[in-house]
Structure 1
Amino acid sequence: MPRRPPLTDIFLYGTLRHLPLLACVLGRDTAALDLTPATLPGYATHWAKGESFPLLTGGEGAPGLLIRGLDNDDVSRLTFYEAIFGYTPQEMTVATMTDTHSTLVFRAPDTGLVPGDPFDLDDWAALWGDISLTAAGDAMARFGKVAPAHLRPVMPFLRARGWSHRLARDTAPQTLRSTMTTADVDLQGRPRRYDGFFRMEGLDLRHRRFDGSWSPRVEREGFVAFDAALVLPYDPENDLVLVIEQMRYGPLLRHDDAPWVLEPIAGLIDAGENPADCARREAEEEAGITLGDLRPMTKVYASPGYSSEFFHCFLGLCDLSRFDTGIGGLDEENEDIRSHVIPLARAMELIATGEINAAPLAMMLLWVQAHRDELRAGP
């Protein structure tokens, strides 16, 4: 009996119905695809509770798209992308307006996910579309180079990078500085030099000069990082601050013989997370402290000459009178963090002696010193 050829028709019920994402995963335009609206009988599509993707649950029929006539490369690319999230293909039958078709459907792993509200693709696209598109582009750049399981733990960080792009839309004022924008940068290419947890990206560009002319074409490299939330706990009644200490890789790479550094509490902002919520979460994780009033301090690039890293800085008002030195951090992130509660005056001395040598902490302490009288006076 002849073997049946492998199925190359695929039914999409979730986020890959977003055509820009589908095009990114396939690596080609979707205009030539044979796309037909279809339904998966006996199922419905709901959000996975607390997640950014849908699940199949029991129901009257899950709407989706049937793609027919895909080639082997298309199927391989889709299988690779879905496998990153642990999804596996199953043969199922879907119905179109005219007939039924046997097709492949990628199903979520049985990992205890709980169904939430009915899934709406437009709602998903409004919040998660751009983020997922950025992460998918990073992931598919590694197609054929790494196994999907290798990318699985990295995806939250690729999505966080996409969220950084969204947060970057909140551009700072342009009152003193030039009103020029990215429209005044002629970017010819962005070759990737290194692509891991962090990314080193090349830039081939020219830009508008202050006299209106164009600069010569230059080639540079930049460090593609993340947005982070930083918070400095301050007790205005007792004039105390909390700083943390941990071993840091930057000083180690610089051959500094004392790579343990005093810093503010800080952490990478997860995809979709409000920076202030991240600051509160990191305070709990790194120092075991629950913050009260959280006040924005400043938002700054860490080193704009070569890095996209961006800091959202907050002051966390709290009572530190009974808080002593302690050890915190998450075991799963191999964190070993010591917290110190010291008078603000002592912190200023540490800036003067150079013992505080992390720029964000020095900047935030100087901000507190500048606003100290106002903060101690109360609301």
Structure 2
Amino acid sequence: MSQLFLCGPLCHRPLLDVILGSGAALLPAVAADREGVAVDAPGAFALRRRRGQAVEGAVLEGASAEAHARLAFYARALGLAPQRLRVGTAAGSVAALAYALRPAPDDRDPWQPALWLAGHAELARETAAEVMAEYGRLAPARLQARLGSIMVRAASRLRARTASAPHSLRRPPAEVEVVARRQPYAHFFAVEEYDLSFRRFDGSMSAVVTRAAFVSTDAVTVLPYDPQRDRVLLVEQWRAGPFARGDGNPWQLEAIAGRIDAGETPEETARREAEEEAGLTLGPLRRVAEYYPSPGAKTEFLYSYVAQADLPDGTGGVFGVADEAEDIRTHIVSLDQALALVESGEIANAPLALSLLWLARERERFRAPS
């Protein structure tokens, strides 16, 4: 069985512990005439031949068959390919197997460990946790097919852990004991089931109960507003939720919206989605609220904004990303007309209604001379 040469992100002990379990023994090693290459995926790494360069890493000492299997599972899920090479160790040169993306693009920058550690290490570890939870249950090819969604969910969990959790009225955080976790469905979205017990208000622990959640990702909504013309831009598109409910008209009026991709901030997402869905460049963003739209059943967390924008006549049109089958029509209406659509029920979309009601309260501040 070949030695395993770990390089790039796989040398990061917290990530490696998720993949293999803690306690793996590492022996420093170097692959000559190779260069590490930066890639977009946080847990991945590319290798290319480069005379005179060297990649520092480590050989996994005494790697068991289980360690080989777990590392191969993770590698296949991330699209990493095995590469055979020779590496130098304190004991001499040995043949080894490395996992990396191949071929490495010539136009990519060299991999910089410090930049990766600061910007991608936590996301890589959180992604690996979901991937390795399926070890022995799912084929790695299935995980690779939905790796983008896995990374976006991982980024959502990281934001949730680092966000403030004020509790001036509600109770402080308390114990939740998870007995079992299942994921009966996972694709673009996922469903998770938990057998758990939680701390009750009387101080006792509840009986073990089963609860399920529809796992979607953090997302952004942004309502463009032209304070000079007192207009807003609305988008209209077909939606699966109303259709599945049996709604007679599943075309919804909404604010511009989209999920926050891994590595993006909510503000960056708002500006990207405005370009994609309305061909619009936004001015300053103002925060409306950050919230769970349906916490009893969904993990989705929304960041809602109103953004200053120039909305002259003729701004509307049909937009959307073609390879995502988006078919989005925009409407430019007065703020008063939009509020009337909330009253009539034609606007039945909670983030849009919330943003419009907030804007009605803040309208004069937007319109006041700066």
**Any gaps of 5 or more consecutive residues in structure 1?**
1-6
What does residue 166 of structure 1 align with?
158
User: Which moved further from structure 2: 211-220 or 144-153?
Assistant: 144-153
Are 2:92 and 1:99 equivalent residues in the alignment?
Answer: yes
Q: Is the 8 A contact 1:236 1:317 kept in 2?
A: yes
Deviation at 1:294, TM superposition (A): 1.4
In 2, distance between residues paired with 1:113 and 1:331?
Answer: 29
Q: Secondary structure at the match of 2:164?
A: coil
Q: Secondary structure at the match of 1:302?
A: coil
Q: Is the 8 A contact 2:46 2:103 kept in 1?
A: no
Map 1:282-297 to 2 at 5 A: 282-297=273-288
Deviation at 1:355, TM superposition (A): 0.5
Deviation at 1:161, TM superposition (A): 0.8
Are 2:65 and 1:82 equivalent residues in the alignment?
Answer: no
Are 2:105 and 1:112 equivalent residues in the alignment?
Answer: yes
Q: Is the 8 A contact 1:201 1:222 kept in 2?
A: yes
Deviation at 1:153, TM superposition (A): 4.1
Q: Secondary structure at the match of 2:129?
A: helix
In 2, distance between residues paired with 1:42 and 1:89?
Answer: 17
Deviations 1:271-322 (A, max 9, x none): 1211100000000011111111112221011111111100011111011013
Are 2:100 and 1:130 equivalent residues in the alignment?
Answer: no
Deviation at 1:221, TM superposition (A): 1.1
What does residue 132 of structure 2 align with?
140
Q: Is the 8 A contact 1:8 1:69 kept in 2?
A: no
What does residue 202 of structure 1 align with?
193
Deviations 1:187-208 (A, max 9, x none): 3332223222222112222222
How high is the sequence identity, in percent, across the aligned residues?
Answer: 39
- RMSD of the TM alignment (CA)? 2.1
What does residue 205 of structure 2 align with?
214
Are 2:14 and 1:14 equivalent residues in the alignment?
Answer: no
Q: Secondary structure at the match of 2:151?
A: helix
Q: Is the 8 A contact 1:8 1:75 kept in 2?
A: no
Tell me the TM-score normalised to structure 2 length.
Answer: 0.92
Are 2:364 and 1:373 equivalent residues in the alignment?
Answer: yes
- Pick the aligned partner of 1:317 from 308, 316, 334: 308
Q: 1:117 to 1:93 in 2, by over 3 A?
A: closer
Map 1:155-194 to 2 at 5 A: 155-168=147-160, 169-178=162-171, 180-181=172-173, 183-194=174-185
Q: Is the 8 A contact 1:8 1:71 kept in 2?
A: no
Q: 1:98 to 1:69 in 2, by over 3 A?
A: closer
Q: 1:271 to 1:356 in 2, by over 3 A?
A: same
In 1, distance between residues paired with 2:86 and 2:149?
Answer: 36
Are 2:228 and 1:244 equivalent residues in the alignment?
Answer: no
User: Which moved further from structure 2: 12-21 or 232-241?
Assistant: 12-21
Letter matched to residue 123 of structure 2:
I
In 2, distance between residues paired with 1:147 and 1:201?
Answer: 19
In 2, distance between residues paired with 1:214 and 1:143?
Answer: 32
In 2, distance between residues paired with 1:307 and 1:8?
Answer: 45
What does residue 339 of structure 1 align with?
330
Tell me the TM-score normalised to structure 1 length.
Answer: 0.90
Q: Secondary structure at the match of 2:53?
A: coil
In 2, distance between residues paired with 1:225 and 1:113?
Answer: 36
In 2, distance between residues paired with 1:159 and 1:9?
Answer: 29
Letter matched to residue 130 of structure 2:
D
In 1, distance between residues paired with 2:111 and 2:242?
Answer: 49
**Any gaps of 5 or more consecutive residues in structure 2?**
none
